[in-house]
Structure 1
Amino acid sequence: MNQSALIRPDWTPATIALMVLGFVVFWPLGLAMLAYILFGERLRDFKRNANDKADGIFAGLRRSGRRYSPTFATGNVAFDDWRKAELDRIEEQRRKLDEMREEFDSYLRELRRAKDQEEFDRFMRERGNRGPEGQYPAV
C-alpha cells in the first residue's frame, strides 16, 4: 500500500493553499500549517523517538517488577505517615489480588486440562469400540 498522503509536510500546492486559507480564516491555523510544512518530518521522527524512549522506560520497569511510587516528602509528618500507611495497604491489596489472579489462572489451566483429558479418554473409548474394518458401530 502506498503511504504517500495528499497533505504531507512539503511545499505542495495543497499545503500552500491550506496555509493561505488558514491565514485568511484564522491566523493561528495558517501559522500551524506553516509549522507543519517546515517541521512536519522532524515532528514525526520526534514522536517516534519519544514513543520508543517511553516504551523502553516502561518495559524496564515491568522487567524489574517495580512499580512507580513517589518517595517525596511533603514536610507534614502526619500526612506523610498516613500516605505511607495507605500506600502500604494498597500494595498489600494489589499483592492479594495478584495471588487471587494466579490461583484463578491455575484453576482455569487445571479445568482445561481436565476437559482435554475427558475428551481424549472419550476419543480413545470410541476408537476402541470400532469394528474390525475401522468403522464405528451403528447406534
Structure 2
Amino acid sequence: MTPAASYSTNGTAMGWLSRAEAWLDSRGKGAWIAAMVLGFVFFWPVGLALLFYMIWSKQMFGKSCKRHSRAHHGFHAMKSSGNTAFDAYKADTLRRLEQEQDAFESFLQRLRDAKDKAEFDQFMDERAKTAAQEREQEREDA
C-alpha cells in the first residue's frame, strides 16, 4: 500500500488501519504474530480477525512479507563481491538510490502536508462562513 493510500476517501478509520498495517509491516512477521496473540488474549475476535487477515494477505505463510525494511536488504547488498571496482560502483548506486528514495518520500510528505493544509483551510473557510451567517441571522432576529 502506498503512503498516499492511507489518505483515501473511506474516512479516518481506513487511514488508521492503513497506518497500523504499515507499522506492523515495518516490524516484520514477529509483530504480526505478536499482535495476533495479544488479540486472542484480550479479545478473541480481534485475534481471529488478524489470523484470517494474515492468511488472506499471505503474510503468514509466504516466503517473505510484502514490505521489507532497508536493514534486511542492506545485509545482502553490502556483501562484498571481491572486486573493488564493482563494490565501489554498487555502493555508489545504492547511495544514489537511497537519496532518490529519501527525496521521493519527502516529496510525498510535502504532498500530504499540502493536502492537509488545503483541507484545513477549507474547513476554516466553511466555519467562518457559518459563523458570519449565524451573526447575520442574529442581527435580523434582533
- TM-score normalised by L of structure 2: 0.48
Rg (Cα) greater in structure? 1
- Considering fraction of residues, name the structure with more helix: 2
Please, what TM-score do these two structures have when normalized by structure 1? 0.49
